[in-house]
Amino acid sequence: MLVEETFNFLTRLLNYIFAIPMLILGITGSILIVIVITQKRTFRQNTNLTYLLAGAIMTGIHLPTIYIQMILVYGFNVSLMNTNEAACREHTYLRYVTTVAAISFPCWAAFDQYVGTSRSAIIRNRWGSLRIVRLVIVCTVIFWFLFYIPIIFFTGITNGVCNFKPSLYTTLTTYIFTPLVYGLGPVGVITYCILGTVKNLRLNNIHRSHEKLAKQVRAMLIPQLIILAISGIPFGFQNIYLDMTSHIAKDAKRIAIENFLGQVVLIFYHFNYVFTFYIYVYKSSEFRKVLRKQVPRCIRACPIYPTDVIINNSIKPLEINQTNFTQTV
């Protein structure tokens, strides 16, 4: 009983100390990425950064809609998704869609750098078009929305927990789709594309006007690759363990330990979303330059008026108390 209470307390403590600050940092970082990329024309016209912008937007959707619910469950024992069938299906569906969509765009950014250094001018021009990039982004989001539609029908509440129902689709998702899409796939794609880009640059010696920025984007992608490898693979295989032990009777002590370890894995996996902005700031001098210029400008664009100011499509001047003024004189 003491061990169970200890691990339940540690699970809540992880949320208070790590999860909540990470949520705030992640949402703030996503907003700042959008501000920086959209405020500079060369950034908006850069295909690599357009993909990263799409990833930041999906992260900004994922963190408040999905991660907040996880914090409420493990940190405050408040959960609508474990008591309402419709909320359970909606949460699981959006969790998979937003998670996979967000990690798809760094893969596309790495691919964009790879084809951008190709010896074929046709390939470079085709994939270097912003119109094509935007089409790819839209198609990627639509694809994942359609791909995970079956989750709505194979998710439900079992023993007070929102989870997958036993089915062939659940088995495929647990043992194939999740490990591949959440960890092994992105790591493999980014690694292959970055190595291919370096090889192309050495062989082709292609000169590009934005090579400095492209080099910095590659430097921004490499830490994301490392974080994906460290956090994504354990997260992908966690569901395999839970499925393999789902038919085993577990006492309260084992459940408490599994919840604690699951929370640790969940926090590590969300490093992918939380620290993206801070990686970009550290690795790119161009990114830092625009950040220092645009953020103060955005702050100045939102003036703070005194509480006495009345806004009715106009600003009412502050009135001077004539009596007090006369007494003072």
pLDDT digits (tens, 9 = 90+) for 39-93: 888 888 888 889 989 998 998 888 888 888 777 777 777 777 778 888 888 888 9
CATH superfamily membership of 11-328: Rhodopsin 7-helix transmembrane proteins (1.20.1070.10)
Task: Place 182 in a pLDDT band, splitting at 50, 70 and 90.
Answer: confident
Task: Place 139 in a pLDDT band, splitting at 50, 70 and 90.
Answer: very high
Q: What is the DSSP string of 66-128?
A: IIHHHHHHHHH---STTT-HHHHHHHHHHHHHHHHHHHHHHHHHHHHHHHHT-S-HHHHHHHT
Q: Which of 3-7, 218-222, 299-303, 316-320 comes out lowest in average pLDDT?
A: 316-320
Q: Does pLDDT of 318 surpass 80? A: no
Q: Look up residue 292 and give its two tokens.
A: 């220092």
What are the residues whose beta carbons fall under 8 Å from the beta carbon of 78, sequence distance 6 or more? 72
Q: Indicate the average pLDDT of the chain.
A: 78
pLDDT above 90 coverage of the chain, percent: 7
Overall average pLDDT of the 194-206 stretch: 74
User: What is the spatial distance between Cα 257 and Cα 237, in angstroms, rounded to a whole number?
Assistant: 17
Greater confidence (200 vs 209) lies with 200
Contact (Cβ atoms closer than 8 angstroms) between residue 164 and residue 149: no
pLDDT at 134: 92
pTM of the model: 0.77
Q: Does pLDDT of 209 surpass 60? A: no
Contact (Cβ atoms closer than 8 angstroms) between residue 228 and residue 292: no
Q: Where are the domains of the chain?
A: 11-328
User: What is the spatial distance between Cα 8 and Cα 12, in angstroms, rounded to a whole number?
Assistant: 6
pLDDT at 301: 61
